[in-house]
Copies of this chain bind each other. A is one copy, B any other.
Amino acid sequence: MPRKIRMGMVGGSTDAFIGAVHRRAAIMDGEIELVCGAFSSSPEKSKATGRALYLPDERVYGTYEEMIQQEKKLPKGERMDFVVIVTPNHVHHGPTKMALENGFHVVCDKPITLNTAEAEEIVALVKETGLLFCLTHNYTGYPMVKEARHLIRSGALGQIRKVIVEYPQGWLATLVEATGNKQAAWRTDPARSGAAGGLGDIGTHAENLAEYITGLKITEVCADLTIFVEGRLLDDDAHILLRFDNGAKGILQNSQIANGEENDLNIRVYGEHGGLQWKQMEPNTLIHKTQEGVRIIRTGVGNLSEAAQVHTRIPAGHPEGYFEAFANLYRNFALAVRAYEIGHKPDPLFDFPSAEDGLRGMKFIDTVIASNESDTKWTPFHE
């Protein structure tokens, strides 16, 4: 009897932001259901969240350790199939490790861990266990990101020369973390967020997107990180020159103090024969520029790549957005779980970011921080 894939959640109590995003994304396509959770380090809050989500009390746990241990005892088909981890960064490594060690697949919010050493351990554990791991670099789930990647792979731009990727936000333009804002508090706290602030929070999305779309690897960086807001402990702005493995050059800039910007992740890629431009705030539009003119590529319109098509749900002109891109990762992960259960490899058309991508993000952070502290222009980015 076919059934939905069963998800257990670590973190994501009702006053968190990203937990609800994951829940909506996970269930959107009817392939996954939430069956249990350890939603908070406070057992009361965890229980209350479970009830708000209509979970039976017995499947709501006080700690992730308890959840993993108890669920493991349930028969397959009843127990959760995978764990999703939506806690602050410093509580990524623990539950991921324990889940993998106990035979559960893992979906983990980005970044993979608090630091590179932890990330390396997770990568090794994923390899060792053969279990599935998805890091939610959600922006790669947009159909027009898939199309951009397809166009570049298929040579539409020729050799890539120049990449400009940006992720400006403005919400931390003042010392919001001192006002009781929980989101701001943990993201600007080295103990919970890691060595990087905005760079880790959003800069790594930009890095991941640039490498995902272009298929190139960054090999050198030259970084200027700033803390603009007095009293803040972590970077809130990053200006970074990039060099890529094929000789292309690039710029990555992210900011949390770009007053008035919302979540303007965007990328421009230029090759020998043309350019592409994509903005997450208008995600269903991909602009293809050549010297002969500009073509507006739209989700659902015309002759798109299979990759774009299988990540689209509705006809053109009905905007799909953030949740749908996020859900594409979950849908693909669900397909991979089903494939896993019959001993198949995941279909690369239905891809999702891996633990290796997560490790690369951690090393990117290390490299940028090293560059920022160096007087030498270029700092190599070692894999």
Q: Please give the residue numbers on chain A whose beta carbons come within 8 Å of chain B beta carbons, in ascending order.
A: 2-4, 17, 20-21, 23-24, 27-30, 34, 51, 53-54, 157, 161-162, 164, 169-171, 173-174, 222, 224, 226, 228, 237, 239, 241, 243, 249-251, 253, 255, 257-264, 268, 270-275, 280-283, 288-298, 300-303, 313-324, 374-378
Contacts and interface: CB of A to CB of B under 8 A. Distances in A.
Contacts of A273: 173, 259
A296 B224 CA distance: 31
B261 A241 contact: no
Contacts of A222: 222, 224, 241, 377
Contact of A295 (B157, B173, B250, B294): B294
Nearest to A5: B54
Contacts of A17: 314-315
Contact of A321 (B21, B294, B324): B324
A320 B322 contact: yes
B249 A261 contact: no
Contacts of A323: 28, 313-314, 320, 323-324
Nearest to A294: B296
A350 to B, nearest CB: 17
A322 B319 contact: yes
Contact of A319 (B2, B54, B250, B319): B319
Given A239-B251, A319-B280, A170 B291 contact: yes
B251 A251 contact: yes
Contact of A270 (B51, B243, B259, B298): B259
A292 B288 CA distance: 14
Q: Which 7 A-B pairs have the closest CB atoms?
A: A260-B289, A262-B317, A263-B317, A319-B321, A294-B296, A321-B321, A318-B322
A290 B224 contact: no
A150 B194 CA distance: 41
Given A162-B255, A262-B318, A282-B319, 11 more contacts: A21-B314, A23-B30, A161-B237, A161-B257, A173-B272, A251-B253, A259-B289, A262-B317, A280-B319, A375-B378, A376-B377
A161 B259 CA distance: 10
Contacts of A249: 224, 226, 237, 239
B281 A319 contact: yes
Nearest to A240: B241
A338 to B, nearest CB: 12
Contacts of A324: 321, 323
Given A30-B27, A161-B237, A241-B224, A260 B321 contact: no
Given A29-B24, A291-B171, A316 B275 contact: no
Nearest to A277: B260
B169 A257 contact: no
Contacts of A171: 291, 315
A294 B262 CA distance: 11
